Structures are given as structure tokens and as C-alpha cells.
Amino acid sequence: MASDWPALESNPEVLTSFMHDLGLAKSWGFTDIFGLDEELLSMVPQPVLAVIFLFQDTTTHAESNTAPITEPSTGIFIQQTAELGNACGTIAVLHAILNNPSSISPDSILANFAGQLNLLTASQRAQALHANEAIKSKHSSYAQEGQTATVADNEVEYHFVCFTNLNGTLTEWDGLKRAPVSHGSTTPETLLVDTARIIKQEYLARNPDSVQFAMMALCALEQYY
């Protein structure tokens, strides 16, 4: 049986259009990050609100991360429950935007959805996402776009996570974990380089020869600045 939440491709143009349709302000969008060295990071338009990281998944990635699990006192965390299938791409970009509420257009699908979540638990937020037909329909539509064909649920080998600055703390949002992960202090100006350091330490160091990953930034669209 096909999932209501097929896998999304790591495609910044598709994700930008998807989120603009839901209510991300037009001055913000997603762009590729082409590498982790200083020169390539400097090419990313600023300011950066969030980093999306796609990596080859393993069944133990959530448990093997060495950073302590800490539940922030603020922020919106959505668990990736079984009913959400391969929604990790949508969950990652929702974590990016919902935890940067100034990027959301008023009276939009995203604004209305965000207003439902504050008093809910992470699992209840997952139920609210699954029940949101507007977001689900847009997800399914955009999952058909991009450069690669959709794949069966049991063939998906990659997972999306998100990093944001939550009140001065570099926070990793991964719906497969029990809670967001704190990675220490950060600032709006250093979010990108701080995230690159954590990706190197927590993910790439375990498999240094792997090239099976991709990164995108939620950042200011240059035509608006």
C-alpha cells in the first residue's frame, strides 16, 4: 500500500515552491550548499535561518548520535510517526520554518497550522500534520517533481534533518529522535559554519569516505535584498 507521504527529493527549487505555496514568505527560500569548506559556505546567501541535511540513513543513526538529548523549553518539534511514512523531508522543512516564525506569511496554511501546535505534544503534532489535508496534498504533488522518480516506501535509504538557531542554541531537529538535540551556542551570523562543524563531527566522521549526502540552506533570496 502506497504511503500518503511519499519521499521528497533534495531539490531546493521544489522545496521553495512547495513552502511558498504553504505560506513561506517570498523573500525566503532554499538553496544548495555545495560543500563544508569555508569558501563554499561563503557562497551561501545570508542571512541563513536553517540548514537542511540529507544523509544515507541507517537503522541506528538516532541512537548513535553522541550529543545529549535535551528538550528545549520553546520551539516546535514534530515526531515522524509511522503514519507519516516518508515525510521526513516535509518535517525537516517545517522544523526550519516553524522555528523561524517571522518567515511565515500571515493567514497562510503554515500560519494556521502553526497556531494549532503550541499546546500539543510532539506525537500530537504528528497527528495534526497527518490530518492536515492541505499540507498532505501539496506534499504528494511536489513529491512527483524533481529530477528523480518517486520510490517505494521500503526503498528509501535517506533521511532529512534540520538545524536552527533556537534562542542562541544550535538545535538539531530530527523527527526520528525522542527530542531535539542541543549542540551548544550559536548566533545568526555563525549558524551555517557551526552547523557544518557538527555535520562533520556527528555524521561524516563516522563514514569519512561517503559522498552520499546533500545540504540546503533556508536563506534570504537574493532578488529580495
Known catalytic residue: 95? no
Q: Name the grid cell of 137.
A: 496534498
Count Cβ atoms within 10 A of the Cβ of residue 86 and give its class: 0-12 exposed, 13-18 middle, 19 or more buried.
Answer: buried
Count Cβ atoms within 10 A of the Cβ of residue 16 and give its class: 0-12 exposed, 13-18 middle, 19 or more buried.
Answer: buried
Known catalytic residue: 20? no
Instruction: Given the residues 61, 88, 139, 162, select the one marked as catalytic.
Output: 88
Interatomic CA distance for residues 187 and 189, integer angstroms: 5
Interatomic CA distance for residues 203 and 85, integer angstroms: 23
Q: How far is the CA of 127 from the CAs of 78, 122, 218, in angstroms? A: 9, 9, 25
Interatomic CA distance for residues 116 and 109, integer angstroms: 11
Kind of pairing between the strands at 181-185 and 28-33: unpaired
Residue with cell 538535540: 181
Interatomic CA distance for residues 64 and 55, integer angstroms: 14
Instruction: Given the residues 61, 95, 139, 159, select the one marked as catalytic.
Output: 159
Active site residues per annotation: 88, 159
